[in-house]
Structure 1
Amino acid sequence: RNNGATPLFMACREGQLECVRLLLEAGAAIDQAEEQGATPLFAACHQGHLEVAKLLSSYGASRAATPFGTPEEVATEEGHADIAAWLVASRGWTPLAHLETLTAARATSLLRSGASLHEGEPTPLRRAAGGAGEAAALVRRAAAPWSPTSHSLFPAAARARAARLVLSLYEIHERYHLDSAGATNGIAALDFGHCVLGFAIARE
């Protein structure tokens, strides 16, 4: 009998970080509590597993009170000062702000799904401003005006709009086809068009 504990709950309680990561990537219910009401995040904080707590938080785990108190309270009560301090420091973070925890693939997924660069306190963009690592670099890149090289980091609606506008740009170029003597000017016109598109395509 496991008292209603899910595989995710058990992995969090035991501090099995990579198992937790695999379960979250597979879509495990992040806030599903066991019979007495303890959540996976509560279990990780109770047992002192900081990296597991960070990973759960980066997937949006709830910090609401359980019948035993909040994750922050139990970390303090159990003497896990590092977890308690981190929970306090990260209270206003959105999942995208967890730059030290996010893999490049996870950061890209969040950006492509429309995660805001400007929500939370501090915002993901503010945290990324002086940050090291791939996730921070991706956030900074996503904050720049649209370009063909940053296209993959924009949400679906923005990518669709970009595709339509780029297609229109090339159709106009083809309609007013330049001969070989004007090829250089044609390339310059396309480059200029891409620069203009950067201001016509917004992330949010």
Structure 2
Amino acid sequence: MACQEGQLEIARLLLEAGADVNQAKQNGATPLFAACHFGHLEVAKLLSSYGASRAATPLGTPEEAANSRGHADLAAWLVASRGWTPLAHLETLTAARATSLLRSGASLHEGEPTPLRRAAGGEGEAAALVRRAAAPWSPASHSLFPAAARARAALLVLSLYEIHERYHLDSAGSTNGIAALYFGHCVLGFAIARETQ
């Protein structure tokens, strides 16, 4: 009902609380189909950012609903965004949601266009977060990496610290200490991959 009535903030609250983005009514209409039928572009964008299915319902596809009701802008957006992953919906994502997607392992390189390509020239917090997450690991980008990468970073930093302490590499003038610092600042970022193969 929230999607049918164009209640964007109510739909956002429901989705944030875990509502099923594809829960259909008895007639088969999904939230995305309802939003498209009634021409609610911003609601359709929000639903799509949560991975709403664009598959046919017993009433037709969301794209067909938008076209048949004369919602040309919505129909055009549905066509343009066909290959997007949830992370590619940069204009719709809040900073908290973009961070959540990045931390849960959302790919920067999947979809067409990819989230990273969309973020390259994009404005806003979500685009900035995607660009930051694409850079080599650093303390500044650590929070945007998936759990496995963050754990690896913590282990490598701890190992570097233990080596540093065990061999007293912080003594004045130590070339080993300089090498350890160089490793920590220049190499460590490339040893931590955001996406595993």
Q: 5+ unaligned residues in a row in structure 2: which ranges? A: none
User: What residue number does 1:119 align with?
Assistant: 110
The separation in 2 between residues aligned to 1:194 and 1:158, in whole angstroms, is: 17
Whether 1:151 and 2:112 are equivalent positions in the alignment is no
Q: Secondary structure at the match of 2:74?
A: helix
* CA 1:54–1:184: 2 relative to 1, 3 Å: farther
Contact 2:63 2:75 in 1 (8 A): yes
The separation in 1 between residues aligned to 2:175 and 2:66, in whole angstroms, is: 64
The separation in 1 between residues aligned to 2:190 and 2:178, in whole angstroms, is: 20
Whether 1:79 and 2:70 are equivalent positions in the alignment is yes
Identity of aligned residues (%): 89
Contact 2:88 2:114 in 1 (8 A): yes
What are the within-5 Å matches in structure 2 for residues 146-185 of structure 1? 146-178=137-169, 181-182=172-173
Contact 1:166 1:194 in 2 (8 A): no
The separation in 2 between residues aligned to 1:150 and 1:200, in whole angstroms, is: 14
User: What residue number does 2:184 align with?
Assistant: 193
User: What residue number does 1:107 align with?
Assistant: 98
Moved more, 171-180 or 142-151: 171-180
Contact 2:164 2:170 in 1 (8 A): no
- TM-score normalised per structure 2: 0.94
Q: Secondary structure at the match of 1:132?
A: coil
What are the within-5 Å matches in structure 2 for residues 23-102 of structure 1? 23-102=14-93
Q: Secondary structure at the match of 1:102?
A: coil
The separation in 2 between residues aligned to 1:117 and 1:19, in whole angstroms, is: 29
Decide which of 109, 119, 137 is 2:128's aligned counterpart. Answer: 137
The separation in 2 between residues aligned to 1:179 and 1:21, in whole angstroms, is: 51
The separation in 2 between residues aligned to 1:180 and 1:191, in whole angstroms, is: 15
1:193 counterpart letter in structure 2: G
Q: 5+ unaligned residues in a row in structure 1: which ranges? A: 1-9
1:176 Cα shift? 1.4
The separation in 1 between residues aligned to 2:47 and 2:169, in whole angstroms, is: 56
Moved more, 194-203 or 168-177: 194-203
* CA 1:36–1:173: 2 relative to 1, 3 Å: same
2:61 counterpart letter in structure 1: T
1:177 Cα shift? 1.2
* CA 1:47–1:21: 2 relative to 1, 3 Å: same
The separation in 1 between residues aligned to 2:93 and 2:174, in whole angstroms, is: 44
The separation in 2 between residues aligned to 1:47 and 1:60, in whole angstroms, is: 20
